[in-house]
Amino acid sequence: MLPFLGKRAVASAISLVGLVILVFFLSRLTGDPTDLFLPENATQEARDNFRRLHGLDQPLIYQFFHYVGDLVRLDFGDSVRRAEPAIDAVMRGFVWTLWLAAITMSLVTVAAVVVGSLAAFHVGGFFDRVATFFSLIGASAPDFWIAIVAIVLFSVNLGWLPTSGTGTAWHWVMPVAVLFIRPFGLIVQVVRGSMINALNSAYVKTARAKGVKDRKIIFTHSLRNALLPVITVIGDQTTAILNGAVVVETIFGFPGVGKLMIDSILQRDFNVILAAIMVTAFAIFLLNVLIDILYAVLDPRIRY
Amino acid sequence: MASQDTDTLVIPDAPRPIVQILRMLWRDKFAFCAAIFLLIVVFCACFGPLLFEDIATKQNLRGRNAPPFDFSKDWLFWLGGDALGRPLLARIMVAAQNTLMVASGAVFFSLTIGTALGLIAGYKSNLTSQIIMRMADVIMSFPSLLLAVIVLFMLPPSVFNLVIVLAITRIPVYLRTSRAEVLEIRERMFVQAAKVMGASSGRIVFRHILPVILPTMLTIATLDFALVVLVESSLSFLGIGIQPPEITWGLMVAQGRPYLTSAWWLSFWPGLAIILTTLSLNLLSNWMRTALDPVQRWRLEIARKKK
């Protein structure tokens, strides 16, 4: 296990370094923050001061090594916009996104596994057709559209739910519900496909022949074996939300890391972009390791 | 699937491949409807701007936010008018072109480049494949929407640039799938036989391995097409994709957003166009997965014999 983890860490570190280099130079090509933060009629002196203050007067390559030097000491630099350490802003947003992802994906997992398994039990039956059709719609739905239709329906017309922001539990309902739809549709289909295979296997026939109850066959015998591909997809979808549920966070004014990243790009707040990317990349690395461990737990044949 | 006219040419004992395909399509009614709908969308994309460009851009301030289902008006106004009184139906048909052009361009480039790189990475287990896979990792670990945002800030957000950005973010999908398939297929007997008979690497990869993995790649491409339509719409919705006066469905949803409370139809119809298109692609991809799989194909063929 340990050598495997080490290998994974090295591979992830390499891609993270690539990512940081890429983002560092790409983001600086998007424009000069001086033009954005100072008024149009700012004097040349003020501009020079601003540049010197944020180290923007140095050659790009020097700025890069300076940044990496700070990074080694875990100093992610300051946010130009917020006048606070970039990492603080990122961690604050990241906690929100983490909660959003955790709540959404737990609901999705439970719901999709139950619906998918039941659909697979009677392939072609009424429940299967309904489930397949709705999961396909779910997997095809544009989330921004669902989000604004939901706002019109539930906030404006019915007045049940707040339109945006955070505060009460009611504020979480719509973002979670909108984020729920696509992963749910995808995972139901994967569970269904994988369960159909498992239910056709020899050990299920044996269990049936022994007279084991249907429910036990579905949820104890087959599910455990059918879950491996499902976990992969769950991991991918969680990654997608952690990477920033940008659209949903923007529409619902949710202070997560996705919205922070978009805002920082618009404001040319380079340090925040980089810190946000590194934090999420690290979280995704941990998530993937967790998924690999889960594989080994579920299927004892898997060894690292 | 463009040639429908062939279904009259049924040869009793050996139906042509195209007839077979159409019959299998007819067996799956959902997929059949999906295919018809996609044909209509493709038709709009090809001819919509030619036929309706003028009507779709002509402002009519007296018909601002005209409500839908007013059948006394011209049929183009049946879905209502937008904030400048332009008929929504015509605008949706015109916008189909940009939406489909971006998506098909992106899918085409990512499919060809991704598959080619995947074939190389899978067939040559050495430094090249390591480098290719690490590069794919970098792209995969990059939030694709953010990559698009950053790049589109540097480059003007034209259709072409959008295609390139979306293609880059989708390459790893094809790369990884084709590589995984190649790793399995190159151990099979027919590849070994070709090797023994002295076939070159290029010949083995393109003449022996590529035809085997192509159905899988095309199925993924169909599914991915739906995803790219969604991503493009999200980008346009966020205001960093296609810029007005060009239109796409995502942009139309965004343009209708300020009028949500008073005129829901401005955002609703283009959103419905997106969802119906992606749903059709998903249904078609499901059908393809069955139709192209020799083990599963009987599900679509057996009922034909029953008839």
Judge whether A279 and A91 are in contact, CB under 8 Å: yes
pLDDT averaged over chain A?
A: 80
* Higher-pLDDT residue of B63, B120: B120
In the 8-state DSSP scheme, what is residue B81?
Answer: B
CA dist A293 and B33 (Å) reads 44
Q: Looking at the predicted structure, is the pLDDT value of residue B307 above 60?
A: no
Query: What was the pLDDT predicted at B15?
Result: 62
H/E element holding B219?
helix B210-238
- Asked whether the beta carbons of residue B134 and residue A265 sit closer than 8 angstroms, the reply is no
B274 touches chain A (CB under 8 A): yes
Q: Looking at the predicted structure, is the pLDDT value of residue B220 above 80?
A: yes
CA dist B104 and A263 (Å) reads 30
Residue with tokens 């749910």: A184
Residues of chain B with Cβ-Cβ distance to A140 below 8 Å are 226, 230, 275, 278-279, 281-282
Residues of chain A with Cβ-Cβ distance to B238 below 8 Å are 246-247, 250, 262
Q: Which residue of A has its CA nearest to B258?
A: A148
Per-residue model confidence as pLDDT tens digits over A69-86: 777 777 777 777 777 787
Q: Among positive and negative, which fits the CA dihedral A204, A208, A214, A216? A: negative
pLDDT averaged over chain B?
A: 77
- Asked whether the beta carbons of residue A148 and residue B143 sit closer than 8 angstroms, the reply is no
- Asked whether the beta carbons of residue A152 and residue B141 sit closer than 8 angstroms, the reply is no
Per-residue model confidence as pLDDT tens digits over A118-160: 888 777 778 888 888 888 888 888 888 888 888 878 877 777 7
3 state DSSP class of B44: helix
Q: At what angle do helices B210-238 and B249-256 cross, to 10 degrees?
A: 20
Average pLDDT on B250-277 reads 82
* Residue from the list A16, A18, A141 with its beta carbon closest to the beta carbon of B275: A141
Average pLDDT on A167-182 reads 81
CA dist A103 and A184 (Å) reads 13
CA dist B148 and B166 (Å) reads 7
Average pLDDT on B237-251 reads 79
Average pLDDT on A54-68 reads 77
* Residue from the list A18, A26, A265 with its beta carbon closest to the beta carbon of B138: A18
Per-residue model confidence as pLDDT tens digits over B14-38: 567 777 777 777 777 778 888 888 8
Query: What was the pLDDT predicted at B306?
Result: 41
B285 touches chain A (CB under 8 A): no
Q: Among positive and negative, which fits the CA dihedral A217, A222, A224, A230? A: negative
CA dist B35 and B38 (Å) reads 5
B8: confidence class by pLDDT, cuts 50, 70, 90: low
B70: confidence class by pLDDT, cuts 50, 70, 90: low
A141 touches chain B (CB under 8 A): yes
A227: confidence class by pLDDT, cuts 50, 70, 90: confident
* Residue from the list A19, A136, A142 with its beta carbon closest to the beta carbon of B282: A136
A207-221, B15-29, B181-195: least confidently modelled range:
B15-29
Please return the burial class of B125, using the count of CB atoms within 10 Å of its CB with bins 0-12, 13-18 and 19+: exposed
Give residue B128's identity as a one-letter amino acid code: T
Judge whether B139 and B169 are in contact, CB under 8 Å: yes
Query: What was the pLDDT predicted at B112?
Result: 92
Alpha-carbon distance B198 to nearest alpha carbon in chain A (angstroms): 37
Report the candidate in B26, B281, B25, B30 with the shortest Cα–Cα distance to residue A132.
B30
B22 touches chain A (CB under 8 A): no
Alpha helices in chain A (DSSP H): 2-29, 33-37, 44-53, 60-72, 86-121, 126-140, 143-150, 170-199, 202-210, 214-216, 223-242, 246-251, 257-266, 270-298
In chain B, what are the helix, strand and coil shares in percent, each to the nearest 5? 75, 0, 25
CA dist A292 and B218 (Å) reads 29
3 state DSSP class of A85: strand
Please give the structure tokens belonging to residue B21. 């395909």
Angle, vertex CA B280, rays to CA B275 and CA B286, nearest 5: 125
